């Protein structure tokens, strides 16, 4: 009898040990058979509402398939998207062109670094009180952006259309203001205004010059509504391409690289072409 009791105790002990092992391995399944779950990576991008946030929203769905969660943070101005990336609050920005970022870096000591060239938005001259450049008269007001690179771009467009003359050698890689104008073919008043405010003041001026994103936000399409605009095959198209930028040192962020790959993909290029009808043009080398 004693032998049988000892045997029962041994069997009971073995059963207890087997049960404990099964619990520790997840209900009896060997731990080596558990497949690790892919972790979702989160990135954030500061951008202008139109068209940048809209393009990012399209990219967000594609990135989700790669387990990358994209947070889109919109700003109305051209300063905060740089500062929040520089501070580390946001991972990247997508709103500006290369000359603007270079000029901002020089003036403010920031370190914005381009990691992807995405699209181009033709600058346009839009009617206010005057429907044609031929109707411009002495004393008429023309509104242009007041930041260095975009003001230069606006003045170059006015020069291309015979309104003013700039110093010889001025191009997209330089910075000039109204003070540098050599000659007025028509004695207009060129007023420097914060870029985001120009569309709201359109009816108070003869004509205005708008960045592509602000024109779109105001319901204007450069190919349909502008009196004159930069051509997609011009040097401006390559110079003023809108980019994804990060703080220096973050260029190798794999999720940001994935974002850029999506933004330059055929899916996004087709979306841009079909949605904006020439007001936004995918950049190609």
Report how many domains make up the chain: 2
Same structural domain, 51 and 147:
no
Same structural domain, 226 and 264:
no
* Parent domain of 56: 41-121+240-282
Specify if 7 maps to a domain: no
Specify if 72 maps to a domain: yes
- Cβ(220)–Cβ(276) under 8 Å? no
- Cβ(150)–Cβ(101) under 8 Å? no
Same structural domain, 108 and 158:
no
Same structural domain, 116 and 143:
no
Same structural domain, 160 and 199:
yes
Same structural domain, 130 and 226:
yes
Same structural domain, 99 and 157:
no
Same structural domain, 162 and 217:
yes
* Domain at 156, CATH number: 3.40.190.10
| Residue-by-residue pLDDT tens, the chain, 285 positions | 455 565 555 566 555 555 554 444 444 444 444 555 568 999 999 999 999 999 999 999 999 999 999 999 999 999 999 999 999 999 999 999 999 999 999 999 999 999 999 999 999 999 999 999 999 999 999 999 999 889 999 999 999 999 999 999 998 888 999 999 999 999 999 999 999 999 999 999 999 999 989 999 999 999 899 999 987 677 777 789 999 999 999 999 999 999 999 999 999 999 999 999 889 999 987
Same structural domain, 129 and 200:
yes
Q: pTM of this prediction?
A: 0.76
Same structural domain, 113 and 134:
no
Specify if 97 maps to a domain: yes
Q: Retrieve residue 160's tokens.
A: 């291309």
Same structural domain, 160 and 203:
yes
């Amino acid at each position: 009898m004693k032998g049988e009791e000892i045997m029962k105790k041994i069997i009971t002990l073995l059963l207890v040990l087997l049960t404990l092992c099964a619990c520790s391995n997840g209900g009896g399944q060997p731990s080596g058979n558990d497949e690790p779950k892919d972790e979702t990576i989160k990135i954030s991008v500061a951008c202008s509402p139109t068209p940048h946030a809209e393009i990012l929203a399209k990219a967000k769905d594609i990135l989700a398939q790669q387990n990358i969660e994209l947070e889109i943070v919109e700003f109305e101005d051209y300063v905060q998207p740089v500062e929040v990336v520089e501070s580390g609050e946001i991972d990247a920005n997508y709103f500006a062109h290369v000359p603007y970022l270079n000029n901002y870096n020089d003036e403010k000591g920031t370190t914005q670094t381009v990691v992807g060239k995405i699209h181009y938005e033709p600058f346009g001259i839009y009617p206010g009180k005057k429907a044609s450049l031929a109707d411009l008269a002495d004393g008429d007001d023309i509104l242009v952006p007041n930041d260095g690179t975009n003001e230069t771009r606006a003045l170059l467009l006015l020069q291309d259309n015979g309104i003013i003359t700039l110093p010889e050698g001025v191009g997209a890689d330089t910075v000039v203001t109204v003070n540098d104008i050599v000659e007025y073919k028509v004695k207009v008043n060129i007023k420097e205004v914060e870029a985001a405010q120009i569309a709201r003041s359109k009816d108070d001026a003869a004509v205005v010059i708008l960045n592509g994103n602000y024109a779109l936000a105001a319901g204007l399409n450069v190919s349909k509504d502008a009196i004159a605009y930069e051509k997609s095959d011009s040097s401006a198209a390559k110079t003023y391409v809108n980019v994804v930028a990060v703080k220096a040192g973050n260029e190798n962020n794999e999720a940001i690289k994935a974002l850029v790959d999506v933004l330059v993909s055929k899916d996004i290029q087709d979306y841009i072409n079909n949605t904006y009808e020439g007001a936004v043009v995918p950049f190609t080398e």
